[in-house]
Amino acid sequence: MINVTKTYLPNKERYKQYVDEIYANGWITNNGPMVRELEKRLAEYLGVKNIVLVANGTLALEIAYRTLDIKGFAITTPFSFVATTSSLVTNGILPIFTDIDSHTLNIDPKNIEKLITPNTSAIVPVHIFGNGCEVEVIEQIAKEHNLKVIYDAAHAFDVRFKGQSILNYGNISTLSFHATKLFHTIEGGALVINDDDLVEKARYLINFGIENPESIPHLGTNAKMNEFEAAMGLCMLDELESINQKRKEVYEIYQKELDSFVEFQKQNENSTKNYSYFPVMFENEKQLLKVQTALNKKEIFPRRYFYQSLDTLDYIEPKQICKISRDISKRILCLPIYPELENETQFRIIQIIKEVL
Ligand SMILES: *Cc1c(COP(=O)(O)O)cnc(C)c1O
């Protein structure tokens, strides 16, 4: 069975060494040495100032909103994984959806300004499939209207914009280190905090709001990463270069072979790729379903990322309509891409798609 992705498991001996270390010092959670080491190494690797590791990418978003005191409305994209929106709703913030650009699939900055009201306190864009948003335009809008910007950068691990980490834009960027993501810690996530004076607050919030054993000034939660997860991250970091090289090879084969058959996502020229997804757009949903059925018959399971468009979620009131996002979500499919995908399998996938089209 071939799925859209396959969790990468790093060298087992290396992981065992870390586990031995954890057993030796008996510290398994609560900001242990492995978590601290991973924070340090990730900050260096990514080229960012402050990293706070957390239990998952959804909690990273929630902690980001709470750290920045986001209230009222947040302008966000309807074309993303559901956690981008559900994390807002959970925190009592109303998502105001602004439609996407039909080619880049990111929030279209042209649509943001007309949605701003006195109740708006934030913009929550997503670098979808790792494609960098128009970060400079968004920054300008946020400045003019005194809004905070939180990037859901779950897909943008190690993406660079004009030579520096794209995570350095906005007030906070959040990452997901779930097993299906490019870089993973089994379950996990992180906040990249650009305002130095907010780091301490975020650290209290992930640990029940406790500042010291006798003072609990914040309303916090439990969002801590544990040592076994951090150890997995340390192992992944050691192998990232070769993982990325293999992903790049798979990506480039799809690109070359499918060029005249389907539409690709338009890349932001100022941002680098991380080869984490390979989305393709068909002419319509019917065509997509035909391809999907043909692949499924051969035990190949691409995923309809992202379906449904988030402006169609039942629990969002008032109802909003983003036409472009709804249209794209019906005709986009993410093809299998992971380091161990065999050449022969990939060409089989390509052949099936070509035959159907
Ligand atoms: C994976 C993902 C999340 C959620 O991260 P988890 O670690 O699974 O909680 C949030 N936003 C986007 C865009 C994602 O792809």
Over the chain (357 residues), the average pLDDT of each successive run of 10 is 95 98 98 98 98 98 98 98 98 98 97 97 98 98 98 98 98 98 98 96 98 95 98 97 96 97 98 97 98 98 97 97 98 97 97 97
From the CA of 178, give the closest atom in ligand 1.
7
Q: What is the structure's pLDDT at 87? A: 98
Q: Residues 166, 135: contact at Cβ < 8 Å? A: yes
2-235 to CATH, choices 3.30.70.250, 1.10.10.350, 3.40.640.10, 3.40.50.300: 3.40.640.10
What is the whole-number distance in angstroms between the Cα of residue 180 and the centre of ligand 1?
10
Q: What is the structure's pLDDT at 155? A: 98
- The three-state secondary structure class of 261 is coil
From the CA of 58, give the closest atom in ligand 1.
9
Q: Best substitution site from 5, 85, 90, 152 to test ligand 1's pocket, by max atoms within 8 Å of Cβ?
A: 152
Q: Best substitution site from 63, 81, 174, 182 to test ligand 1's pocket, by max atoms within 8 Å of Cβ?
A: 81
What's the CATH number for 240-356? 3.90.1150.10
- pTM to 2 decimal places: 0.98
Q: What is the structure's pLDDT at 206? A: 98
Domain ranges of the chain: 2-235, 240-356
Q: What is the structure's pLDDT at 89? A: 98
Q: What is the structure's pLDDT at 211? A: 95
Burial readout 184-212 (b: 16 or more C-beta within 10 A, e: otherwise) = bbbbbbbbbbbeeebbebbbbbbbebeee
State which amino acid sits at residue 260: S
Q: What is the structure's pLDDT at 236? A: 98
- What number of H helices and E strands is found in the chain? 10, 14
Selection from 345, 331, 343, 338 nearest residue 262 by Cα: 331
